[in-house]
Amino acid sequence: MALYLIGDIQGCNAALGELTDQIQFSPSRDTLYLLGDLVNRGPDNLGVLRRLQQWGSSAKCLLGNHDLNLLGIHLGVRQQKPGDTVNDVLQAPDRTALIDWLRHQPLALQHHQTLMVHAGVLPMWTANQTMALATEVSDLLKSLDWAHFVTQMYGNFPAKWDNSLQGIDRLRVIVNALTRLRFCTPEGEMEFAHHGSASHAPAGYLPWFDAPNRQTADVTVAFGHWSSLDELHRSDVLALDGGCVWGRCLTALHLDTHGPGKHQHIHVSCQDSR
């Protein structure tokens, strides 16, 4: 049995098919962990969702910011932006089933010593706390009240975690950290305007994984979301957004559970993704 992590697909179904062919993925034998942003900006979002749904429990998917955006557009509480490409899903005869499948996907996963999120983890959260907080949001998205939650989910504030937070403020911080975070202050205040590389942090901020005393430093955190991130050569974080939708590559990482640092990266070119 092989385990693979795969970065942001964003509707690039042909690249996903080529990548899984290259790694000889078998749903009856292997497991894929897909790190969110399954849809949007690419040409075949419908194909991606149907493929992943067909693979069942062999494809363990996280929700990213673009996936949550699709939920909002479906409900009519978000407007499509220039560059959005989700009409193929919205006009599909199985739209309702696909949306229901999507909203039942988690915001965090953990396999042994690897914690998986789409974007990042606030420095004061442990791995166990991250999983518990992600479950709070997932439980709402799976519930009959999910549409009401989604209407309140969007926004940049509060920008900092506090254990006393309750209600939608608490949930919004969790969502923003797990699906949008790139930069934060050493104290964990988030910043969402800058999308550049880690070496170009805005004044007073740093990449979330460089925050001092980060409580997830005892595990490996795998994430996507940050296609402009400089290549990282570290054992504590695995960055897997290869920028497929921007014509670069879709990346899989063979997760070897027999020892730290024994990971193999596999790439396929995505030059024809858009």
DSSP annotation of 33 reads E
Residue 256 pLDDT greater than 80, yes or no: no
Q: How far is CA 51 from CA 17, 27, 129, 185, 230, in A?
A: 9, 11, 32, 39, 30
Q: Buried (b) or exposed (e) across 66-105, using 16+ Cβ within 10 A? A: bbbbbbbbbeeebeeeeebbbebbeebeeeeebbeebbeb
* Residue 250 tokens, joined: 């879709």
Task: Check residue 222 and give its pLDDT.
Answer: 97
DSSP annotation of 251 reads E
Q: How far apart are CA 226 and CA 180, in angstroms?
A: 9
Residue 110's CB is within 10 A of a number of other CB atoms, namely 17
Find, among 10, 79, 82, 58, the residue nearest to 240 by Cα: 10
CATH number of 3-269: 3.60.21.10
Task: State pTM to two decimals.
Answer: 0.96
Residues 47-71: tens digit of each pLDDT: 999 999 999 999 999 999 999 999 9
Q: How far is CA 207 from CA 132, 181, 226, in A?
A: 23, 9, 11
Cis peptide before 212 (omega within 30 of 0): no
* Residue 52 tokens, joined: 């992943």
Residues 165-222: tens digit of each pLDDT: 999 999 999 999 999 999 999 999 999 999 999 999 999 999 999 999 999 999 999 9
Q: How far apart are CA 30 and CA 48, in angstroms?
A: 18
